[in-house]
């Protein structure tokens, strides 16, 4: 930052997950921004963005909920920082659709009883780190480089897709996570499943689906030699972390037929010999760790797949 330039400051939309199952994402985001001396002010009384279920069955409701949140965010200064990939995707999609479709915009404005705020810039945390704070400065700010940590950066579905909407990075071959990891001193591994779907919100209704898809992701990361996976979405985190043990039980033992009965033989992708635990980190957890934030204040206690042995092994604790 050049001298005299204003301190970076953002309004903040955490979203439901970050107040519950993804609480460590929220905690670490706040800790990271504090460490980087970047302002972060939560939008008061925000609502759920509707996530996938809302647009799944009722696009108008989904657009209206997001438009409502965008107009609530108008009241807080600074671009809107979003950590959850799903919320980010919904908010960006809403802005995109309503800018392009006048009919929908008018309907939404009736629904929220006010104008839709379409010009508030919505920024994902990754974008803020890599572009606004800047990779060079991020690298400078590192106090404890994540030396020797092999990380599989996992983008999931919603961060970059569909083309032209999130405007975060190339929708098929993004590099923003790798760039951030390199700046933090970690080693991003090249792997094949960084943009495959984890099963997302089927975690509630059809957990079997999640097990199959998430297994493929974990397996691919292990083959690539990753120590851990980095995510930017609480849903992905939930599926890969919380259900990791379950996945191992379902796919690890060759004679497991528990889920095979339900879904047929497709479930058995063959048992992988490598069954290492893969801790799942949020991007903000890794970044904050590199900035020297004490690990106690990064919410590691909330994580199911314990990351501490790995961090100890790499002398990062």
**Is residue 35 involved in binding other proteins (CB under 8 A)?**
no
What's the CA gap between 315 and 272, in Å, rounded? 28
* 69 vs 141, beta carbon nearer other proteins: 69
What's the CA gap between 64 and 54, in Å, rounded? 10
**Is residue 274 involved in binding other proteins (CB under 8 A)?**
no
What's the CA gap between 52 and 89, in Å, rounded? 10
Q: Does a cis peptide bond (omega within 30 degrees of 0) precede residue 162? A: yes
From the list 80, 85, 158, 221, which residue makes contact with other proteins (rule: CB under 8 A)? 158
Region near other proteins per CB under 8 A, out of 124-132, 145-153, 164-172, 176-184? 164-172
What's the CA gap between 146 and 212, in Å, rounded? 31
**Is residue 200 involved in binding other proteins (CB under 8 A)?**
yes
From the list 185, 207, 252, 260, which residue makes contact with other proteins (rule: CB under 8 A)? 207
Question: H-type helices in the chain, by residue range?
Answer: 23-35, 51-57, 59-73, 85-100, 102-112, 125-127, 135-141, 176-183, 202-205, 207-223, 234-237, 244-252, 260-263, 283-290, 308-313
From the list 9, 34, 35, 59, which residue makes contact with other proteins (rule: CB under 8 A)? 59
Residue 3: both structure tokens together:
């001298």
Collect all residues with Cβ–Cβ distance below 8 Å to 34 and sequence separation of at least 6.
40
What's the CA gap between 82 and 91, in Å, rounded? 9
Region near other proteins per CB under 8 A, out of 18-26, 126-134, 136-144, 276-284? 18-26
Region near other proteins per CB under 8 A, out of 5-13, 146-154, 168-176, 282-290? 168-176
Residue 112: both structure tokens together:
């929220």
**Is residue 57 involved in binding other proteins (CB under 8 A)?**
yes
**Is residue 301 involved in binding other proteins (CB under 8 A)?**
yes
Scored b (16 or more CB within 10 A) or e, 83-118 reads bbbbbbbbbbbbbbbbeeeeebbeebbebbeeebbb
Minimum CB separation of residue 170 from other proteins in Å reads: 6
Collect all residues with Cβ–Cβ distance below 8 Å to 48 and sequence separation of at least 6.
15, 16, 65
**Is residue 170 involved in binding other proteins (CB under 8 A)?**
yes
**Is residue 50 involved in binding other proteins (CB under 8 A)?**
yes
Region near other proteins per CB under 8 A, out of 52-60, 125-133, 140-148, 274-282? 52-60
Ranges within 117-156 binding other proteins (CB under 8 A): none
Minimum CB separation of residue 269 from other proteins in Å reads: 11
**Is residue 296 involved in binding other proteins (CB under 8 A)?**
no
**Is residue 171 involved in binding other proteins (CB under 8 A)?**
yes
From the list 8, 32, 40, 54, which residue makes contact with other proteins (rule: CB under 8 A)? 54
DSSP for residue 292: T
- Distances from the Cα of 39 to the Cαs of 27, 29, 45, 100, 296, in angstroms? 14, 11, 19, 32, 22
From the list 7, 102, 136, 172, which residue makes contact with other proteins (rule: CB under 8 A)? 172
Minimum CB separation of residue 161 from other proteins in Å reads: 4
Instruction: List interacting residues with other proteins (CB under 8 A).
Output: 16-17, 19-23, 45-48, 50-61, 64-65, 68, 97, 101, 107, 110-113, 157-158, 161-163, 170-173, 192, 196-197, 199-202, 204-207, 209, 213, 223, 242, 263, 266, 301-304
């Amino acid at each position: 930052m050049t001298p005299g330039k204003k301190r970076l400051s953002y309004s903040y939309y955490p979203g439901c997950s970050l107040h519950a199952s993804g609480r460590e994402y929220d905690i670490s985001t706040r800790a990271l921004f504090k460490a980087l001396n970047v302002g972060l002010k939560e939008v008061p009384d925000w609502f759920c963005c509707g996530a996938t279920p809302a647009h799944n069955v009722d696009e108008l409701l989904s657009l209206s909920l997001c438009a409502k949140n965008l107009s609530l965010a108008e009241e807080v200064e600074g671009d809107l920082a979003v950590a959850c990939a799903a919320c980010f995707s919904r908010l960006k999609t809403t802005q995109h659709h309503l800018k392009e479709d006048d009919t929908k915009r008018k309907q939404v404005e009736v629904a929220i009883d006010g104008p839709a705020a379409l010009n508030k810039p919505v920024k994902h945390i990754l974008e803020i780190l890599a572009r606004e704070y800047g990779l060079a400065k991020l690298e400078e700010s590192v106090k404890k480089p994540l030396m020797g940590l092999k990380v599989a950066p996992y983008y999931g579905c919603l961060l970059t897709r569909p083309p032209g909407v999130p405007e975060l990075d190339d929708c098929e071959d993004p590099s923003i996570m790798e760039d951030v990891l390199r700046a933090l001193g970690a080693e991003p591994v090249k792997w094949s499943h960084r943009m495959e779907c984890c099963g997302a919100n089927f975690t509630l209704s059809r957990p079997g689906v999640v097990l199959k898809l998430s297994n493929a992701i974990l397996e691919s990361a292990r083959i690539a030699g990753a120590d851990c996976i980095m995510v930017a979405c609480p849903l992905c985190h939930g599926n890969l972390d919380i259900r990791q043990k379950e996945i191992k039980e379902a796919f690890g033992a060759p004679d497991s037929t528990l889920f095979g009965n339900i879904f047929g033989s497709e479930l058995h992708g063959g048992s992988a010999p490598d069954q290492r635990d893969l801790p799942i980190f949020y991007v903000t957890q890794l970044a904050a760790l590199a900035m020297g934030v004490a690990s106690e204040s990064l919410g590691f206690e909330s994580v199911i797949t314990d990351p501490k042995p790995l961090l100890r092994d790499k002398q990062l604790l």
